[in-house]
Structure 1
Amino acid sequence: MNLLVGALNPIALKLGPIEVHWYGIIIASAVVLATFLAVQEGNKRRIDSDDIYDMILWALPFALIFARAYYVIFEWSYYSKHLDQIIAIWDGGIAIYGSLIGAGLVVFFFCRAKWIPVWLMLDVAGPVVLMAQGIGRWGNFMNQEAFGRITSLQFLQNLHIPNFIVQQMFIDGAYRQPTFLYESIWDILGFILLISFRHRKGLFKQGEVFLSYVIWYSFGRFFIEGMRTDSLMIGNFIRVSQLLSAILFFGGIVLWAVRRKRMPDNPWYLDGNELNPQKS
């Protein structure tokens, strides 16, 4: 994190010795909004709201632990010498893909235990998770993270973005590409498209809303990650998120095609939870 003259203060307020960071406030706000929207959609698909709340209570700590562990593992050369910093998530340093792995495991086992179709729950969660990711990037903005290569002030001004964003992109003595903003816009656009099309009859089988989320997000993340200079790396030449994005993108397309061909009787997304037919 690089707090320079003109940069925004990443600390929202202090309560005695406790510092409340904008990063945490933004992430928490995204989670609250995503939960609200998931419950609204879940009710339409005959998934009990209590089940969604319970699942989220389990998923959040696992998502946080996996997100931090993922980041620490790929930055072990630093954290092995600074063990006291491993839990310092308030300074940033969590990985979206790690959180998705942790939360995904909880969704799978929770739904199996509750007799809720796993793919349906993922369909409900996918769009709102994408929205939360878009909002969460503004936490990176406050911490001056997830930035891109050096650019010019003129380039940033030509983007016609607010001046406070331009000033926050002055990092390590140079202006940077606002890759956090590119990804935030990409995520929010994907969210809008998914919620606009998911209720169309005969369009999505169960699981395909979620796969659309995976394909959309990984496609954009692959290219945006290539613009960043703070990527997690394997060696000095493979960006972890680019590699995983490529795998998810092609894997999502193949899985969609295979499921359509081999499981033509899969229920439609709009059919909802057929294991709970009484709920309207």
Structure 2
Amino acid sequence: MEPEIWFVNLGIKINHLDRVAFNVFGIDVYWYGVIIGFGMLFGLIVTLKEAKRTGQETDFYIDTVMISSIISILFARLYYVIFSWDYYKNHINEIFSIRNGGIAIYGAIIGAVLSGLIICKIRKKDFFKVADTFSFGILIGQIIGRWGNFVNREAFGGYTDSLFAMRYIKDQASNIPKDVLDKVVNINGVEYIQVHPTFLYESLWNIGVLIVLFIFRKHKKFNGQLMALYFIGYGLGRFWIEGMRTDSLMIAATNIRVSQVLSIILVVSFTIYLIIQTKKYKDRSDMDILLEGNEIK
């Protein structure tokens, strides 16, 4: 039997990978949803540990996740539908069919930020401190969640024969562009496409960003600093990786990838935010030193 998924230059072959994890009362439960759910759960565990480490109420974070996760999923779907409107305007009945696929991480982040702002306002919490704490859990969720794309045979890049080149059986992959189809690989009568595993690149990139946050948290100077580093780090990686993908959402009637535009906005905006807040912190520190000097005299 030929492998269904094959990292050809790494010698890794997977002979069977079903999209369906299990069945409940006649309803298929897909691995994609299971992996996303596990990512959210593990992300919450890490977030609660960080909240406890910094002396915050863990109950607040549990309540926030219960509310914001629902809103984030809705926004993730809304974002996908808006930028795929050419299809959904003729298939209105499929707009809410999330089981058929179609959610976007940037939509989920927008939903999380908006719901977080509202919840923090109501509960009288410092949004930036909360955002710093959640940054760790969000990254964990993204690192794990991207493997749902692997199971679904989606979110891949163009043709490559690089070290991480991945072969999918052609008939099992989704949204295959012409330039990839032009280079189909035939192995013993089985046709494969050979592509960049962009889901893997993003997962590995996010591990790097997470490590940076764990290292930098010991040197945190002000609330919002870790959040800004997360958005800058993720934005840089997403801009690069999005350029490889073959299934990008585009701004209407253009060839501009919306995720790359948002990535640029995030990187520029939060770089400016970091510069401004760092200067404010330095000015406050200099003033404290001056006052202490005056007190000594």
Q: Normalising by the residue count of structure 2, what TM-score does the alignment of the two structures yield?
A: 0.80
Q: Which residue pairs with 1:61 in the alignment?
A: 70
Identity %: 38
1:197 matched to 2:206: no
1:94-105 equivalences under 5 Å are 94-105=103-114
Per-residue deviation, 1:8: 2.5
C-alpha distance 13-98 of structure 1, shift in aligned 2 (>3 A): same
1:109-128 equivalences under 5 Å are 109-128=118-137
RMSD between superposed Cα atoms in Å: 2.2
Mark the structure with the bigger radius of gyration. Answer: 2
Bigger relative CO (Cα 8 Å, ≥ 6 apart) = 1
1:217 matched to 2:234: yes
One-letter identity of the residue aligned with 2:198: T
Q: Which runs of 5+ in 2 are unaligned?
A: 6-14, 177-191, 286-297
Identify which of 169, 188, 201 aligns with 2:207.
188
1: CA distance between counterparts of 2:18 and 2:218?
42
1:55-204 equivalences under 5 Å are 55-151=64-160, 155=161, 158-159=163-164, 166-167=167-168, 171=173, 172=176, 174-200=193-219, 203-204=220-221
C-alpha contact 2:136 2:210 (8 A) present in aligned 1: yes
Per-residue deviation, 1:117: 1.0
2: CA distance between counterparts of 1:211 and 1:26?
27
1:208 matched to 2:208: no
Q: Which residue pairs with 1:230 in the alignment?
A: 247
Work out the number of aligned pairs and report it.
Answer: 254
1:4-83 equivalences under 5 Å are 8-83=17-92
2: CA distance between counterparts of 1:184 and 1:7?
22
1:244 matched to 2:253: no
One-letter identity of the residue aligned with 2:207: I
After superposing the two structures, state which structure 1 stretch, 6-15 or 119-128, moved more: 6-15
Per-residue deviation, 1:196: 2.5
One-letter identity of the residue aligned with 2:203: S
Aligned to 1:204, what secondary structure does the other structure show?
A: coil
1:261 matched to 2:297: no
2: CA distance between counterparts of 1:266 and 1:167?
56
